[in-house]
Amino acid sequence: MKITLTVNGEAYPLDVEPRRILADVLREDCRLTGTHLGCEHGICGACTVLVDGEAVRSCLMFAVQCDGSSVRTVEGLAGPDGEPHPLQRAFSAEHALQCGFCTPGFLMVAAGALEADPAIGDSPERVDGLVGSNICRCTGYEPIRRAILRAAREQTEGERDGGNR
Amino acid sequence: MEQWTRREDRRLLTGQGRYVADIAVPDCLDAVFVRSGVGHGTLRAVDCTAARAVPGVVGAWSAADLSELPAVPYTLLARLSNEESVAGREWPALVKDRVRYAGEAVAVVLGEDRYRAEDGAAEVFCHVDPLPAMVTPSAAADDSVRLFDGLSNIAFRGEAGKPVEESVWREAAAVVEGRYRQQLLMPTPMECRTILAVPEGDRLTVWSGHQMPHRLRRELAALLGWSVDRVRVVVPDTGGAFGSKSATFPEFVVVAFLAVKLGRPVRWIEDRLESMLVATRGRGQDQRVRLAADADGRLLGYELTIEADVGAYPHLGVGLPMQTAWLATGPYTTPQAYATVRSVLTNTMLTYPYRGAGRPEATIALERAMDVMARRLGLDPAELRRRNFIPPESFPYRTPTGRCYDSGNYAAALDLALETLEYDGWRAEQARRRTDPGALPLGIGLSCYVERSGGEAGGLHEFGSVEVGEDGTVTARCGAAPSGQGHETVFAALVAGTLGVAEERVRLVEGDTDEQPEGLGSFASRSAQVVGALLQHVSRRLIDEARERAARLWELPVDEVQWSGGIVHAAEDGSAAIGVADLVKVTGPLRVEDRFESGMAFPFGSHAVVAEVDPELGTVRLLRVVTVDDCGVVLNPTIVRGQAFGSAVQGIGQALYEGMTYDDQGVPVLASGLLDYLLPTFTEVPPIEVKDTCTPSPATPLGAKGAGESGCIGTPAAIVNAVADALRIADPDLLQMPLTPDVVWRAARAPKHEEEVR
């Protein structure tokens, strides 16, 4: 089946079998291997990407369902000049990753939420909910929570500063 | 680089990491295994004919189709297995005639991609006549059903220490007994197992997320009948291991064999459902303990009887429970101690190291018994422990079960844990609640542990080198293979610090057997302790070599030549000076390689937990968790603390949530997949305070002991003790892990122990 996926702003015209899951198509057809598969049945969240701004488990979605949609993966987080996303900087600063396998999923869950509501850092319980949606085996999660809060606060402070200027 | 805490972070945070499944190799085939649906049975027939006709399938084989397929190797490392245990008990890479665990592979299908290989696997016909499945050691031990015809299911017996004299039990003021189940756990790294085998000329390059690349190379070469130089093993980014990725697994044997046979790249990327069936398990012990003390609470004797569930084949972990036996007495002086092990084969996947690997089992047994003893004697549990700690001046200390502890200050760790927890305050709150009928019961649990790091005798060394290039860059190589521990950051800093050069000049190369010809790997919390010591050693030797070369150049005695910050200069007047890069240009390549051996080290700590229990719901709420760990000299506090925290969360998993259960056919009861195996999520993470003390190890020049397994070792017993303390039940054996609401609810209804005077 012929589809067009727009991934990180780039159009990928593809011919894919309808049964292929989005994660496999991103990884193998688009060669964007930053999206990792941790369980392939929707539990761990490692494969989370944004589809039209919404966080989805890309192991639970067929690529053909995303025809014409805009997909964002961890490769698309950094700015066009390569400047790291505030979440990427915050994850490093808080040592919120060790083996790094689950990290892209957490980053995308957080990125979707931050973009939908830049003030999410003011509601720590909502950040808790984000962290609770995926599985990490190395960090014990607390550093991930701190990293998301840090990025969120940095973003709101940045905007306040920008508004004042 | 300064915006990244670790060197690894940039690539791992931007999607540029490279795990095995990310590596694209032209013409690579995906392997999918057809697996037995029962845990024990006679294989009657496997027919791959229909599978071979599926479009995109390149081949499909059963054991009968691959008569040359080698068996799975066993390991003698760290006495994990031995010749006697495996004799007559071959572990075929594909089932030949008897299925011994659920998920054991009966056929393999190679396809042009994973989808096609799975299409083929669905067409393989397989018939197994079920036999009774022996899923617990107690069921298997009587040999009424044997896993191997003519051989006992008891595959190993071992002991540590000497039997405790009968008079000790007879004359002691108090003797307590307990039965503790160390349930089977799934290590569950986020990345499952991976292997990609690429034949090139007369060589095979193997990519694998692995802890011991040189072992994998050696074992693969042996089973192919090749010299080791024909196999190259490369470990790229690895998504966690926790002890579970250091063997040559049956699937690895098949993949390497077929890649060579077909002359084509083959990979196996294990999926989670497979992993839940056939990845190695951790723990798996049924324990009986007996502990004797005098009226003052001084320990007199300790007996630990271990019946270990080692799974279907003795090849990987039949001797692993000896780790528990050797550490039976923990941080206490115990005049007489005796630990026995009986390893029993069962129809479950194999037991193998999982973070802690024998030490959690030792700690949980002893520390639960210590709390029962404290209650029996009417002593505060902290006080009982304090009275029995091996004093700091007694090291090196030889235990009755055969370990020689290097250094320790156990009371300091306990004191810090109690102070951080605000122990007295919580005891007061506990007393208050006991008088308030509306308050939920609250308990305080302690756990003091000693563990062992570095490895066993014969495996305490590592290989590596340091080299300076003509541009002044330093390349360090070693045999370690990280799976998230940040070696590139830590070891580059260590080498830079030893040489006195900027960190940016140093690059670490590891996990590649072509780059580093010999090595042991990353296991037993050994990397900082053993590999760190090696890298410091070769760095110092490199300094000496540079000084000698400059001395020859300048015709000076070598003791008049000094090294400072990457520059060699004459000590007397400083007139002669040469940067190391220029020295290399003048005198040729500068490289020092060596083997370096450390001693065993014994990290320790004290963990303390406050738990609130709802007797009506059976729920446990951890109000506070304090971990105090001592791993000697810490190379990178951020990384060690991060591992301590994550490890504590895995320890909480063992205490409260995780555990494998099997049905009558020996099939894991996990109908809803990973959702049914209760890994802690953020929702289950309580407030955890991570602290440390520092008692350097004399066993290694860096003074570092192993880090990272502490939480799995120390935290579970503290949690169970806290729940037992809250419920005040007369029979603490009712609390067997995991403390699910069902377990706790039942325990809450059991008779209470008599109120004693504190």
User: Would you call A99 and B674 a contact, using CB atoms and an 8 Å cutoff?
Assistant: no
Is 90 exceeded by the pLDDT of residue A160? no
User: Would you call A40 and B271 a contact, using CB atoms and an 8 Å cutoff?
Assistant: yes
Q: How far apart are CA B592 and CA B366, in angstroms?
A: 46
Q: Is B717 exposed, middle or buried (0-12, 13-18, 19+ CB in 10 A)?
A: buried
pLDDT of res. B594: 98
Is A143 in CB contact (< 8 Å) with chain B? yes
User: Would you call B24 and A32 a contact, using CB atoms and an 8 Å cutoff?
Assistant: no
Angle at B430 between CA B428 and CA B434, to 5 degrees: 115
pTM of the model: 0.97
pLDDT of res. B2: 57
Is B645 in CB contact (< 8 Å) with chain A? yes
Average pLDDT, chain B: 96
Which residue out of B649, B682, B710, B712 would a mutagenesis test of the A interface target, given it has the greatest number of A Cβ atoms within 10 Å? B682
Pair B560, B494: CB distance under 8 Å:
no
Is A136 in CB contact (< 8 Å) with chain B? yes
User: Would you call B14 and A37 a contact, using CB atoms and an 8 Å cutoff?
Assistant: no
pLDDT interval class at A158 (50, 70, 90): confident
Nearest to B600 by CA among B406, B449, B359, B410: B406
pLDDT of res. B96: 98
Ordered domains of chain B (ranges, CATH) = 28-131+189-241+245-278 (3.90.1170.50), 282-453+600-748 (3.30.365.10), 461-597 (3.30.365.10)
The alpha-carbon radius of gyration of chain A (Å, integer) is 16
* H-state helical runs in B452-579: 487-499, 532-554
pLDDT interval class at A80 (50, 70, 90): confident
pLDDT of res. A83: 94
User: Would you call A40 and B682 a contact, using CB atoms and an 8 Å cutoff?
Assistant: no
pLDDT of res. B505: 97
Is A119 in CB contact (< 8 Å) with chain B? no
Quote the crossing angle between the two packed helices B359-377 and B710-727, to the nearest 10°: 30
Taking the CA of residue A137 and the nearest CA in chain B, the distance in Å comes to: 6
Rounded average pLDDT per 10-residue block, chain B, 758 residues: 86 98 98 97 98 98 97 95 97 98 98 98 98 96 97 98 98 97 98 98 98 98 98 98 98 98 98 97 98 98 98 98 98 98 97 97 98 97 98 98 98 98 98 96 98 95 97 97 96 98 97 97 95 97 97 94 94 84 96 96 98 98 98 97 98 98 92 94 97 96 96 98 95 94 96 62
> What secondary structure, in 3-state letters, does chain A show?
CEEEEEECCEEEEEECCCCCEHHHHHHHHCCCCCCCCCCCCCCCCCCEEEECCEEEECCCCEHHHHCCCEEECHHHCCCCCCCCCHHHHHHHHCCCCCCCCCHHHHHHHHHHHHHHCHHHHHCHHHHHHHHCCCCCCCCCCHHHHHHHHHHHHHHHHHHHHHHHC
Taking the CA of residue B387 and the nearest CA in chain A, the distance in Å comes to: 34
Residue of B nearest to A37 (CA): B191
Residues of B with Cβ-Cβ distance to A91 under 8 angstroms:
9, 13
Residue of A nearest to B272 (CA): A39
Q: Tell me: the pLDDT tens digits for B687-723?
A: 999 999 999 999 999 999 999 999 999 999 999 999 9
pLDDT interval class at A162 (50, 70, 90): low
Evaluated on CA atoms A129, A135, A137, A139, the torsion sign reads: negative
User: Would you call B22 and A91 a contact, using CB atoms and an 8 Å cutoff?
Assistant: no
User: Would you call B273 and A75 a contact, using CB atoms and an 8 Å cutoff?
Assistant: no
Is A100 in CB contact (< 8 Å) with chain B? yes
Size of interface A-B (CB pairs under 8 A): 166
Ordered domains of chain A (ranges, CATH) = 2-76 (3.10.20.30), 86-164 (1.10.150.120)
Which of A80 and B354 is assigned the larger pLDDT? B354
Is B189 in CB contact (< 8 Å) with chain A? yes
Closest Cβ–Cβ partner in B190, B649, B685 for A46: B190
Amino acid at residue number B260: V
pLDDT of res. B524: 94
